[in-house]
């Protein structure tokens, strides 16, 4: 369609919604944000973009995708399992649940194959049993509910953030540089970035409350120079999307390998000598591992505590830094 004088200066989403009755305004906004709407042939990803008279507007509807995940025979490392829950040691590269661009090959697909119909339905069709998540390229432990009772009990513990119970979540992180102190706490709200909706940013007002407690476990580098990198332990008091990654970047010590929040540190790699240069430059994910998970069993009340060793790529990177 072409924008006429009556619609000039109006929001893009409002104009498109007014000139068709098939899609809701929310659906139109989603299409805009996903890059499926063009103005004069150029993609516009901001729904509040103001159109001009004569602008040619067009949108495309993505092909429908299967909303119900199917079981797939994907190997998973089961750390613990009973009739109530299952604890998985997730490898880096495995997406937790289906979503845009990842409708198959996820942990949920693997769990459906492994558990059959015994997963909790509280999370919905796309997220059966999923109580919490870790990023695709983060490795480590997570617990999945196999019954609605377990799901409710685990969800309550995660919502409480371990304030009144044994819930613990600790991550090992390899970061650039080293803080001046050995431990600290980051209390900084998080929200979707205004400039890139795929990223999270620290915000001064609004956003979601987010707290990360950190401790330096080891520093790497020459004694007479600033540390090249550090091994840190990060403990979550809250569990927000990308929380550790964004908080470490906010501390000016982003995770090694984090192209979203630490891309500005790539120049440091060029100053290294091989084999460490090749090792760090070839590390293709954020150096983050969910190594500790503890919680109260929702059925019998006992405390379950699990620890995961470093995966091979993380261990190799750590060893290389220790030799620096």
Contact 57, 51 (CB under 8 A): yes
Instruction: Name 78's bridge partners.
Output: 88
**Active-site residue list:** 135
* DSSP one-letter code for 253: -
Look at residues 316, 308, 293 and name the one whose alpha carbon lies nearest to residue 89.
Answer: 308
For 41, how many CA atoms within 13 A lie in the half-sphere containing its CB?
A: 0
Beta strand segments in 56-145, E: 57-59, 77-81, 85-90, 139-145
Q: Rounded distance, CA 322 to CA 324, Å?
A: 6
Tell me the pairing of strands 288-296 and 183-187. Answer: unpaired
Q: How many residues appear in the chain?
A: 324
Q: Are 121 and 144 in contact (CB under 8 A)?
A: no
Give yes or no for a contact between 250 and 277, defined as CB atoms under 8 angstroms apart. Answer: no
- Asked if residue 96 lies in contact with residue 105, where contact means CB atoms within 8 angstroms, the answer is no
- Spell out a b/e string for 77-116, using b for 16 or more CB atoms within 10 Å of the CB, else e: eebeeeebbbbbbbbbebbbbbeeeebeebbbbbbbebbe
């Amino acid at each position: 369609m072409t924008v006429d004088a009556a619609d000039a200066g109006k929001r893009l989403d409002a104009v498109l919604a007014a000139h068709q009755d098939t899609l809701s305004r929310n659906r139109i906004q989603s299409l805009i944000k996903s890059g499926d709407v063009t103005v004069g042939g150029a993609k516009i990803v901001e729904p509040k973009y103001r159109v001009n008279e004569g602008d040619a507007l067009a949108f495309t509807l993505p092909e429908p995708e299967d909303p119900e995940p199917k079981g797939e025979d994907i190997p998973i490392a089961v750390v613990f399992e009973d009739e109530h829950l299952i604890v998985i040691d997730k490898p880096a590269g495995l997406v937790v649940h289906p979503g845009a661009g990842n409708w198959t090959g996820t942990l949920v697909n693997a769990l459906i194959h492994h558990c059959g119909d015994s997963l909790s339905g509280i999370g919905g069709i796309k997220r059966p049993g999923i109580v919490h998540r870790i990023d695709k390229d983060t490795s480590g432990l997570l617990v999945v509910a196999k019954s609605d009772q377990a799901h409710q009990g685990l969800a309550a513990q995660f919502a409480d953030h371990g304030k009144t119970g044994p819930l613990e979540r600790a991550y090992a992180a390899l970061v650039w540089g080293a803080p001046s102190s050995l431990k600290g706490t980051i209390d900084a709200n998080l929200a979707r970035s205004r400039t890139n909706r795929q990223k999270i940013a620290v915000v001064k007002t609004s956003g979601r409350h987010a707290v990360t407690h950190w401790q330096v476990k080891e520093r790497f580098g020459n004694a007479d120079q600033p540390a090249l990198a550090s091994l840190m332990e990060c403990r979550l008091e809250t569990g927000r999307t990308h929380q550790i990654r964004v908080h470490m970047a906010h501390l000016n010590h982003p995770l090694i390998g984090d192209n979203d929040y630490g891309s500005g540190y790539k120049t440091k790699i060029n100053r290294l000598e091989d084999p460490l240069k090749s090792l760090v430059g070839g590390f293709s994910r954020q150096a983050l591992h969910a190594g500790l998970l503890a919680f109260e069993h929702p059925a019998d009340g006992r405390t379950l505590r699990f620890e995961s060793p470093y995966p091979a790529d993380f261990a190799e990177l750590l060893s290389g830094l220790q030799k620096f």
